Structure 1
Amino acid sequence: MPPGAAPSGRFDRLDALRAVAILWMAVFHFCFDLNYFKFIHENFYRDPFWTVQRTVIVTLFVFVSGLGQAIAWEQGQSWPRFWRRWAQVAACALLVTAGSYLMFPRSYISFGVLHAFAVMLIIGRLTAGAKLWLWPMGLVAVLLPQLVQDPFFDTRLTNWVGLVTRKPITEDYAPLLPWIGVMWWGIAAGQWVLQQRRPWLAGPLPQRLSPLAVLGRWSLSFYMVHQPVLISLLMVVAALVR
């Protein structure tokens, strides 16, 4: 499971969709690593080709996690089960901070995607019962950072909220606002689909796509392992060709 709820019953279609997001992310990170080792020369911080991709990938991840939260809420997931999964996500977020500090001490990740998930999962769990109210709540959360900014939120201790006047210098930044809005939309959409179009999520997955479902079930592990593997391989290649 990705940073998201772990329902007791599997929904192969949702797992496969999660795998699509994780594979797209891996390709994006591989290109980033190629640039870091100067095999290619791209601007991942300003070029819309890369910045828009990053936004779409995170949006897909968060929305799919919201769908997973809707399933967990419908199945009555227990708090102990929730906290076990949450602890895994939170621990991985701390590891990301530590690892990024070693590679990028001036722009290490203090509040990236996994940190955001650790916060949003709790909020999503507590607010899933809002049902239809999740749609306007999500809209407010998405629009608020465009309407309200204050220098108070520009520090590392406060930029996690998202109401910054400038993007912080960091390798990954996924603030609570606007991303909690996308999760709320995912939860709301998941609740509607489960009630009105359940086969969209619960229907069978074609056999040829079953590997995607398997990958989707292990997406957090894949997330944590893929970058160290890619970076190690490129370090070896760089040492051999230079």
Structure 2
Amino acid sequence: MGLAASTKRYETVDALRGLAMVWMTVFHFCFDLSHFGLWPQNFRVDPFWTTQRTLIVSLFLFCAGLGQAIAWHQGQGWLRFGRRWIQIVGCALLVSAGSFVMFPQSYIYFGVLHGMAVMLVVARCTAGWGRWLWLGGLLAMALPPLAHHGLGGLADAAPWFNGRAVNWLGLVSRKPFTEDYVPVFPWLGVLWWGLAAGQWLVTQKPTWMQRPVPLVFSPLAALGRWSLSYYMLHQPVLIGLVMAFVWVSGKAA
């Protein structure tokens, strides 16, 4: 397989990833306004916000699965995968450190990047499952409620599932107090479905993802190509802008 084939971008996937970034930015900007008292909202229980968060994380992880399908199809080796994985792990640690400074009581210890670091390794090791990924994804999404209702309240019978040592699995009876929580289950199911869909598309409908996006969506595709860098920078910038506004408006008052 030639170099051009191994490095070809799939603009449709990039644009979808960029859409997730824009949606996430709007969500986080609203969260920051609420955090600084400019627009009080309940992001923990209000369905308007919790549903949006679920959809944003789902789109982000589904795109991650599509990306792994493309990488598998292009024959990318473990070395290239490992370089990107180390970047994700490093960024996850930075998120934990930064959130600890801002939210010491609810800092992020297993958010979306932490979850991705684990789930991408699982996806890489299971990419050869083919159609079984659809069933695996369904079971992964069903496992948390099944653990509580179908298995006699597994998490309640074993409280250590709620402890930080293993609550990253997602088999908890109560959600931990943290600013972002993306456990392996049920979210691995979304990534697996993205992987399964991507494998089907690259073999059965390759032109669907390879065709250039319309010009109006090209900024989204460009943003999607730099999603990790953007993810790490957007909140510090947004928080800085909101803090500056609060400071200036306070001075003006």
Q: Which residues of structure 1 form unaligned runs of 5+?
A: 1-6
Distance 1:207 1:36 in 2: 36
Identity %: 59
Match of 1:106 in 2: 105
Mapped to 1, the partners of 2:164 and 2:108 lie a distance apart of: 10
Corresponding residue for residue 3 of structure 2? none
Q: Which residue in the other structure is 1:64 paired with?
A: 63
- For the 8 Å contact 1:8–1:77, the answer to whether it is kept is no
Shift of 1:158: 1.1
**Structure 1 CA distance for aligned equivalents of residues 212 and 33 of structure 2:** 38
Residue in structure 1 matched with residue 198 of structure 2 by the alignment:
190
Distance 1:138 1:145 in 2: 13
Deviates more, 1:211-220 or 1:148-157: 148-157
Distance in 2 separating the partners of 1:44 and 1:8? 40
Cα distance, 1:209 vs structure 2: 1.9
Is this contact kept in 2: 1:86–1:118, CA < 8 A?
Answer: yes
- Cα distance in 1 for partners of 2:9, 2:201 equals 16
Contact 1:93 1:115 in 2 (8 A): yes
Alpha-carbon offset, residue 142 of structure 1: 0.2
Q: TM-score, normalised by structure 1?
A: 0.96
Cα offset, 1:211, TM superposition:
1.5
Secondary structure at the counterpart of residue 131 of structure 2: helix
State the distance in 1 between where 2:241 and 2:77 align.
41
**Separation in structure 1 between the aligned mates of residue 26 and residue 232 of structure 2, nearest angstrom:** 14
Q: Tell me the equivalent position of 1:81.
A: 80
TM-score (norm 2): 0.92
Q: Which residue of 2 aligns with 1:34?
A: 33
Structure number with bigger Rg: 2
Quick check: 1:135–1:184 contact (8 Å CA) kept in 2? Answer: yes
Residue 167 of structure 2: SS of its match in structure 1? coil
Specify the code of the residue in structure 1 equivalent to 2:91: C
2:214 to 206, 209, 223: 206
1:235 to 2:243 alignment: yes
Shift of the alpha carbon at 1:78? Answer: 1.1
* Aligned match of 2:91: 92
Counterpart CA distance in 1 for 2:205 and 2:244 is 49
8 Å Cα contact 1:194/1:201 also seen in 2: yes
Q: Is the 8 A contact 1:8 1:72 kept in 2?
A: no
Query: Cα distance, 1:8 vs. partner?
Result: 2.4
Amino acid at match of 1:109: I
* In structure 1, distance between residues paired with 2:165 and 2:103: 18
Deviations 1:91-134 (A, max 9, x none): 00000000000011110111000000000110000000000010
142-151 or 127-136: bigger deviation: 142-151
In the alignment, what sits opposite 1:3? none
Counterpart CA distance in 2 for 1:123 and 1:73 is 13
After superposition, the CA RMSD in angstroms is: 0.9
Q: Which amino acid aligns with 2:45?
A: R
Residue in 2 that maps onto 1:130: 129
Aligned positions, number:
236
The answer to whether the 8 A contact 1:26-1:226 is kept is yes
State the secondary structure of the residue aligned to 1:160.
Answer: helix
